Amino acid sequence: MSYQVSWTDVSRGDLNEIIRYIAVDNVDNALNVLDKLETKAASLEQFPERGRLLPELIDSGITQYRELISAPWRIIYRIEQQEVFVTAVLDSRRDLQTLLLRRLGN
């Protein structure tokens, strides 16, 4: 069974911000990061449930979001029927609980 992977506007904005930030110092590195993150997200077409539930949200009872790690980035997504929605791409070095609850908990 194959799933369609879609990026939300917010997650595309996250990705663009990350790439722009990296590109200030090294355009080649930015393009490599972009390729790595897009490839990792595309892999969800075949195995969307392989990502772990978000530990920051489980205690709040929010269990529909999962993540893949592409260090130091976290690709946050949810599965709905035959589609995977990438909802955020975040830097794992930050304290993300408040940000995740504000963004995804609504």
What average pLDDT does range 33-43 have in this prediction? Answer: 97
Check: CB of residue 14 under 8 Å from CB of residue 7. no
CATH code for the domain in which residue 40 is found: 3.30.2310.20
Residue 105: what pLDDT? 53
Residue 56: what pLDDT? 80
Confidence of residue 101 (pLDDT cuts 50, 70, 90): low
Residue 88 has which token pair? 């955020």
Rounded to 10 deg, the angle between the 27-42 and 9-25 helix axes is 150
Check: CB of residue 84 under 8 Å from CB of residue 4. yes
Residue matched to tokens 């393009």: 31
**Mean pLDDT rounded to a whole number for the chain:** 91
Determine the Cα–Cα distance for residues 99 and 10; give it in Å rounded to an integer.
13
Domain, as residue range, for 49: 4-104
Q: Domain total for the chain?
A: 1
Write out pLDDT tens, residues 42-96: 999 999 999 999 888 888 888 999 999 999 999 999 999 999 999 999 988 776 7
Residue 59: what pLDDT? 82
Question: Within its chain, how far is the Cα of 28 from the centroid?
Answer: 21
Residue 93: what pLDDT? 79
Tell me the residue ranges of DSSP E strands in the chain.
4-7, 52-53, 65-70, 73-80, 83-91
Residue 56 has which token pair? 């920051």
The residue with greater pLDDT, 15 or 105, is 15
